[in-house]
C-alpha cells in the first residue's frame, strides 16, 4: 500500500475511528439548534422596539428580564436575544403593556471570574391607546393593530392579539360575555 505524500503524523486510514471522529466533529460544527420560544396570545401582541412609543401611550414603568444563567461552560444555559425578547414580551403582557421601548441590552460576556451567560434586556413598558367601545352597542370594536395567530373562530373577534367572545345577541347593560358566548351578570 502506498501512503500519501503528507507527513505520517497527520495521515490516518480513511476508515479509522479518528477519521470518523473528525468527520462527525466537522458535521456537528455546521449543525445549529433553533429554539422556538412559545408566546401567550397576550405576549404576541406586545411590540418591542428601540424607538419611542406613540405620544398617546401611557407609561407603566421600568421592566427588565434575563434569559440564560450560569457562569461556566458545562452547566450553564446560554442566553439569546430571541429568548430575552420572548421573556420581555411575556413580562410586559403580565403588566398589561403592549409596547416596550428597549433602553439597555447586555449580551453574554467574559468577566474576570467566568463567562457570564445571561442575556439581559431592560426598558420601559407602555400601554397604547386602544379602540373604545361604541356608545350605542355593548359589542366592543375589535382592535386591528395586532393580529391573532391562529385566526379567531367564528363568534370571536381579535382584540390586541387575543380572541374575545362575541355574544349574539349582544349582552345588555350590566352583563358580560363569557368565553362560551353566554351573557352573565357582571360582578364587581
Return the pLDDT at 156: 72
Identify the residue whose cell numbers are 390586541: 160
Q: Are 120 and 65 in contact (CB under 8 A)?
A: yes
C-alpha distances in Å from residue 145, one per residue of 29, 34, 44, 57 = 41, 28, 12, 14
Return the pLDDT at 63: 94
**pLDDT above 90 coverage of the chain, percent:** 24
Taking the chain (188 residues) in runs of 10, the rounded mean pLDDT of each run is: 52 52 46 64 90 91 90 75 91 91 91 85 89 46 56 74 74 77 76
Residues 169-188: pLDDT tens digits? 777 888 877 767 778 887 75
Q: Where are the domains of the chain?
A: 41-127, 132-188
The burial of 43, by beta-carbon neighbours within 10 Å (0-12 exposed, 13-18 middle, 19 or more buried), is given as buried
Which CATH superfamily does the domain covering 41-127 fall into?
A: Hypothetical protein apc22750. Chain B (3.30.110.70)
Over the range 14-32, which residues count as b (16 or more CB within 10 Å of their CB) and which as e? eeeeeeeeeeeeeeeeeee
Return the pLDDT at 142: 43
Return the pLDDT at 163: 72
Distance CA 124, CA 52 (A): 10
3-state SS, residue 30: helix
Return the pLDDT at 133: 42
What does the mean pLDDT of the chain come to?
A: 74
Amino acid at each position: 500500500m502506498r501512503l500519501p505524500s503528507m507527513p505520517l503524523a497527520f495521515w490516518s486510514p480513511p476508515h479509522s475511528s479518528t477519521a470518523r471522529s473528525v468527520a462527525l466533529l466537522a458535521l456537528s460544527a455546521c449543525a445549529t439548534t433553533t429554539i422556538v420560544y412559545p408566546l401567550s396570545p397576550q405576549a404576541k401582541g406586545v411590540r418591542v422596539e428601540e424607538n419611542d412609543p406613540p405620544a398617546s401611550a401611557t407609561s407603566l414603568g421600568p421592566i427588565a428580564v434575563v434569559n440564560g444563567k450560569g457562569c461556566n461552560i458545562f452547566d450553564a444555559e446560554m442566553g439569546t436575544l430571541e429568548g430575552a425578547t420572548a421573556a420581555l414580551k411575556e413580562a410586559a403582557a403580565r403588566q398589561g403593556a403592549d409596547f416596550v421601548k428597549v433602553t439597555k441590552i447586555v449580551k453574554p460576556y467574559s468577566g474576570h471570574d467566568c463567562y457570564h451567560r445571561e442575556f439581559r434586556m431592560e426598558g420601559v413598558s407602555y400601554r397604547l391607546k386602544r379602540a373604545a367601545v361604541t356608545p350605542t352597542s355593548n359589542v366592543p370594536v375589535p382592535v386591528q393593530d395586532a393580529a391573532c395567530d391562529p385566526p379567531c373562530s367564528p363568534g370571536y373577534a381579535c382584540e390586541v392579539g387575543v380572541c374575545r367572545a362575541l355574544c349574539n345577541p349582544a349582552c345588555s347593560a350590566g352583563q358580560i360575555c363569557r368565553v362560551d358566548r353566554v351573557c352573565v351578570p357582571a360582578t364587581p
